[in-house]
Amino acid sequence: MSTQTIELKSYIRDIPDFPKKGIIFKDITPLLADKDAFSRTIKQIAEVGEKYSITKIMAIESRGFIFGSAVAHAMNVGVIPVRKKGKLPHKTFSETYQLEYGQDSLEMHIDALTPGEKVLIVDDVLATGGTAQAVAQLVKKAGGEPMAMAFVIELNFLNGRDKIKECPVVSLIHY
Ligand code: AMP
């Protein structure tokens, strides 16, 4: 493990039994509050975007917005919000995915991408991979190319990356 990885990890706080019993919530707010840790995180994700020559960031509601917007600014590309059902005002593409209990939907505006655009998908945590997989489907529906996905944190033991066949997955911190 690199020194950089160890350092970023020290800014993640474990909150046991949140939002429900048995879940260890990975709280990213200490990392956001530290200018050096936040800036290093954004720089490292932007390097992934540069590697794949991406032209748009897709940021997943809601903590993905924080990282995705900052990376888009750092790379001088646009950012597209992927939102929970019913939040976007214009016509949308929608993708439904399975949760532990029941299902949920994510949406994006139908004209958010120009066909052929190279997309980097950004979120805070890769857990089971259901969310990220749904967003990869949205990118394809909108005519874009999912080039890579970048996460601040990956929960390796949930094997989320096995679900992602479309593109490479890069995470900065692993548990
Ligand atoms: P999944 O679809 O299972 O990969 O879940 C990913 C989404 O759920 C991400 O948007 C995360 O913000 C959130 N999430 C899942 N597990 C955790 C966790 N242990 N701590 C913080 N956020 C989580």
Decide: 124 in ligand 1 pocket, CB within 6 A: yes
- Give buried/exposed letters for 146-156 (b at 16+ CB in 10 A, else e): bbbbbbbbbbe
Distance CA 111, CA 164 (A): 24
- Write the residue with the smallest CA distance to atom 15 of ligand 1: 127
Share of the chain above pLDDT 70, in %: 97
Per-residue pLDDT reduced to its tens digit, 36-67: 999 999 999 999 999 999 999 999 999 999 99
Q: What ligand 1 atom has the least distance to the C-alpha of 97? A: 2
Domain range enclosing 163 = 3-174
Beta-carbon count within 10 A of 175 CB? 15
The ligand 1 atom at the shortest distance from the C-alpha of residue 64 is 10
Q: Give the count of domains, the chain.
A: 1
Are 25 and 15 spatial neighbours (Cβ–Cβ below 8 Å)? yes
CA of 23, closest atom in ligand 1: 19
In short, whether 123's Cβ falls inside 6 Å of ligand 1 is yes
In angstroms, what is the span from residue 129 Cα to ligand 1's centroid? 8
Question: Residues 134, 13: contact at Cβ < 8 Å?
Answer: no
Tokens of 57: 């960031």
Alpha-carbon distance of 175 to 157, in angstroms, equals 7
Average pLDDT of the chain?
96
130 lines ligand 1 (CB under 6 A): yes
Can you give the pLDDT at residue 101?
78
Regarding the beta carbon of 175 and ligand 1, being less than 6 Å apart is answered no
Q: Look at residue 5 in the predicted model and tell me its pLDDT.
A: 59
Before 19, cis peptide (omega within 30)?
A: yes
Query: Is 57 in a helix, a strand, or coil?
Result: strand
Report the CATH number that the domain containing residue 65 is assigned in CATH: 3.40.50.2020
